[in-house]
């Protein structure tokens, strides 16, 4: 009988330990899910801000391109000023494109990392 009692106590202790591990796993899973959701929402916010910035840069570039065509009484900006305006527009568009490309690359990398965790 003594061996049977010892086995019964061991099984109860093992069940308690298993229950504790199970609860710990559930808590860890829930926390990981909250972390994943929060990080994904933050990433979406940052990507949205970058997209908004890209769009605004392109609008500024369009305004600058339009500005070079302004003239008063058939007098337009000198060609060297128009060239400078073109160069500024090219730089702004280039910056917008780099930002857009980097945003996509970084977003994809972060999403891959989050999905692997």
Tens of pLDDT, residues 57-96:
999 999 988 888 877 777 888 889 889 999 999 999 999 9
How far is CA 15 from each of CA 23, 27, 33, 67, 92, rounded to the nearest angstrom? 12, 18, 27, 77, 65
Q: Rounded to whole angstroms, how far apart are CA atoms 63 and 52?
A: 17
47-50 long-range contacts, CB within 8 A, separation 24+: 47/103, 47/107, 50/99, 50/100, 50/103
How confident is the model over 33-46, as a mean pLDDT?
Answer: 90
Enter the pTM of the model: 0.68
Dihedrals phi, psi of 76, to nearest 5 degrees: -110, 170
Q: What is the pLDDT of residue 48?
A: 95
For the chain, give the percent of residues with pLDDT over 70: 80
Can you give the pLDDT at residue 18? 60
Q: How many domains does the chain have?
A: 1
103's tokens: 């945003």
Cβ contacts of 47 within 8 Å, gap of 6 or more: 103, 107
Domain interval for residue 82: 2-116
pLDDT value at residue 73: 77
Q: In this model, does residue 7 exceed pLDDT 60?
A: no
């Amino acid at each position: 009988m003594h061996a049977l009692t010892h086995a019964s106590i061991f099984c109860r202790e093992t069940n308690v330990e298993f229950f504790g591990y199970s609860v710990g796993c559930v808590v860890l899973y829930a926390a990981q899910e909250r972390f994943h959701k929060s990080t994904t929402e933050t990433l979406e916010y940052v990507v949205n801000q970058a997209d908004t910035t890209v769009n605004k840069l392109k609008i500024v570039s369009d305004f600058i391109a339009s500005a070079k065509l302004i003239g008063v009484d058939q007098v337009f900006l000198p060609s060297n000023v128009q060239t400078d305006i073109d160069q500024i527009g090219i730089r702004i568009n280039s910056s917008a494109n780099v930002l857009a490309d980097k945003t996509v690359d970084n977003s994809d990398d972060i999403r891959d990392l989050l999905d692997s965790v």
